[in-house]
Amino acid sequence: MPLRLAKALALLSTGVLAGTFVYGAVNVAQTFKAVPLDVRLTFHSALMRMNGPVVQTMMALAILSSLLLVVLWRGMPRLLAAGAGVMALTSFLVTRFGNVPINQQIKVWAVTSAPADHAAILHRWDMFNDVRTATGVAAFLLVIAAVDRTARVNAVTEDPSRDHPRRDRPGGR
């Protein structure tokens, strides 16, 4: 039962994290570029205030559930789960040390004015966002691969009546 729950939590948390980042990169970040700067700054500040707790929770759950799978599994699934944990941790670190400091600057700009080099700073935010999106998606794909790998191994070894190749019989049957 703990393994089933860990797999479900890892799939859910990395999937929500990846989906959130992809939606943000494809829709929200592009919308930021299509509106006047003052609108972007105001909306960006409000969005980050609401989005922060959700994204941080998903990152923490993705890291912890991946690490739990590392403890529970062996072999290739363990390595894939470890990779997912590293990717989720990278998303967290990029967010914490890349995006968040810029978000703090944006909050100030929203109530004052943007500095002359604001375009370069916003471009850096976009680059950090692209990195955390890629690592978030990679974490999800690695969890999918790990769960799929264990499902295929279990199907072959646990149920001999299924029509799967078996290594212990000649001809795979």
Domain assignment of residue 171, yes or no? no
Percent of the chain with pLDDT over 70: 87
pLDDT at residue 2, as a whole number: 85
> What is the per-residue pLDDT across 124-172, written as a single tens digit (0 to 9) for each?
999 999 999 999 999 999 999 999 998 876 655 554 434 344 444 455 4
79 within some domain: yes
Calculate the CA 50 to chain-centre distance: 18
Q: Does residue 65 fall inside a structural domain? A: yes
Q: How many CB atoms are closer than 10 A to CB 19? A: 14
Domain count, the chain: 1
Q: Supply angle C-alpha 28, 58, 140, rounded to 5.
A: 85
Domain that holds residue 99: 2-154
Asked whether residue 166 is domain-assigned, the answer is no
Residue 163 falls inside a structural domain:
no
Contact (Cβ atoms closer than 8 angstroms) between residue 14 and residue 62: yes
Q: How many CB atoms lie within 10 A of CB 137?
A: 20
Residue 12 lies in a domain: yes
CA 38, chain centre distance (Å):
29
Residue 50 — φ and ψ, nearest 5°? -80, -35
Q: Which residues contact 122 (CB under 8 A, 6 or more apart)?
A: 32, 102
Does residue 150 lie in a domain region? yes
Which residues, other chains included, contact 20 with Cβ-Cβ below 8 Å and sequence gap of 6+? 51, 54, 55, 58, 136
For residues 85-113, average pLDDT: 97
Quick: pLDDT tens for 54-68: 999 999 999 999 999
